[in-house]
């Protein structure tokens, strides 16, 4: 049987339009990522010899919010935006706000976005 079943689900995204039960060889399906996620790979897949061509991946984006930064007494090191977006795997660098010093137990100040979450560094009131 050279036909394919419905295109598989992917993390952070979905198949556009209605899915069929069977796809003929050469038929295509198109994926889209949820809002705030970034696609890597080809969004269009096709049925070949009973299997789907390589599926795209959707990387969840991270947002560093002003509220979270204020809670931890930190600010972005390089950027002066109110909201910072980055995708999974990327890093954001933070620094302590003026008048604060790094908490010795703080996570690294070069924080990595992992599956849509950032582990924020922390600063405490200092000299």
Q: For position 90, which CATH number holds?
A: 2.10.70.10
pTM, rounded to two decimals: 0.57
Share of the chain above pLDDT 70, in %: 94
Quick one: pLDDT at residue 127? Answer: 66
Q: Which residues pair with 38 in a beta bridge?
A: 59
The first and second tokens of residue 93, run together, are 């660098």
Report pLDDT digits (tens) over 95-114: 999 999 999 999 999 999 88
Q: Answer whether residue 2 is part of any domain.
A: no
pLDDT band at 117 (very low <50, low <70, confident <90, very high): confident
8 domain residue, yes or no = no
The number of domains in the chain is 2
């Amino acid at each position: 049987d050279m036909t394919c079943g419905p295109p598989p689900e992917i993390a952070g995204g979905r198949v556009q339009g209605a899915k069929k039960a069977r796809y003929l060889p050469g038929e295509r399906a198109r994926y889209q990522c949820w809002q705030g996620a970034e696609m890597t790979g080809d969004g269009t897949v096709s049925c070949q010899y009973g299997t789907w061509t390589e599926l795209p991946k959707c990387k969840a984006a991270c947002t560093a919010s002003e509220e979270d930064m204020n809670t931890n007494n930190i600010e972005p090191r390089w950027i002066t935006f109110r909201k910072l977006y980055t995708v999974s795997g990327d890093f954001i660098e933070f620094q302590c706000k003026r008048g604060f010093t790094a908490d010795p137990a703080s996570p690294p100040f070069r924080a990595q976005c992992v599956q849509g979450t950032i582990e924020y560094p922390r600063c405490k009131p200092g000299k």
